[in-house]
Structure 1
Amino acid sequence: MAEYEACILGLKMVVDMNVCELLVIGDSDLLIHQVQGEWAVKNPKIVPYVQYVKNLCKRFRKIEFRHTPRIQNELADALATIASMIKHTNTDYIDPLDIDLKEHPVHCSHVELEPDGLPWYFDIKRYLESGTYPEDATSGQKKLIHCMDLNFFLNGEVLYRRTPDLGLLRYVDAAEAVRLIEQIHVEVAVHT
């Protein structure tokens, strides 16, 4: 069930990002083959999960599920190893994860413009795009940018940061922030 819950959470995040075509790579033979309809679902507790994943799949123009052995999926293997280290008081039964997704999660932090007029995250975005550091960056600044890029990724021109709870934070410049705030105020005024 945990594998299905992780898959569902990932699919929901990708749907929210308006992705039309998706390749899902997983190391669970069971999940991949059940979702593709190649293997029967024998556990009645899993049936709703499979159906939910299949319903989410209808939201994509094209979606493909591909199995990769765990030995080739280092990140998943590391997460599974960490999860196996957690001590549980009741070893007979562990409650499944309850994942509450907010209708419209919003986190907003306002950062003043840098003196050069660029947003604070400009150097991280440029590093992700081209692998280059600012010309005047010290070795410490380069190390910081490199470390920060592990939690950031680009989707086209949009910069996101992964949160510990697997959420995504979208970074916008000052002009985009003003536009979004105005749009939110208009929508709130219309609905009140």
Structure 2
Amino acid sequence: MGMQFAEELNIRYLEAYGDSQLIVNQVRGEYEVRNEDLIPYYSAVLEQARKFEGFFIGYIPRAQNTYADALASLATSLALPPGAETIIPVTGRELYYSKLPTGDRSDEATSEEACATTIEFEPRDWRFPYIDYVVYGNLPDDSKEAAAIKRKALRFYYDAVSQTLYRKSHDGVLLQCLSRKEAKEAIKEAHDGICGAHQPGTKLGDRLRRIGYY
């Protein structure tokens, strides 16, 4: 449901975390999904992940996620005084949509196909630590990495409206920061697309900067 809400908010690059190492590794394709009750949820997650331009999921131990854990505990412990009344709006939401097998395919075959469905998850987007620091003031736990991000962040600018990270070039031009997937497309475009002849590495990098990419 969190992924669905992110899609409705027009989030293009989503970084998600879960405190169940089993579930996270199943979604990443590192563990096989054997529980038949989980297969529909697993398939729904993969289908939802494809709707984002970039999606990363990682494991975070519950002990390191105390704030979210406290909110969850608070929600279950809140109670109204005796005799008090309140209105609680409830929104219906489908977690997944079951799909009936077509033709003569059995449920078992459908489950096997669902487990075989894979999606290539990106490594953690290199832009996220800079966005976390510029927007929220959050830094990595590693002191060396945190110091490097604080030093380099002075060259970055985040546009909250377009949800785009830019890097300021030496001449003051803002260069759009690309994900690994976007970078591959930009390199292909600059190397043999509308930009003309095939370019060697140094010249290709200069051409990409002139197009407006970092």
TM-score (norm 2): 0.36
Could you state the TM-score of these two structures normalised by the residue count of structure 1? 0.40
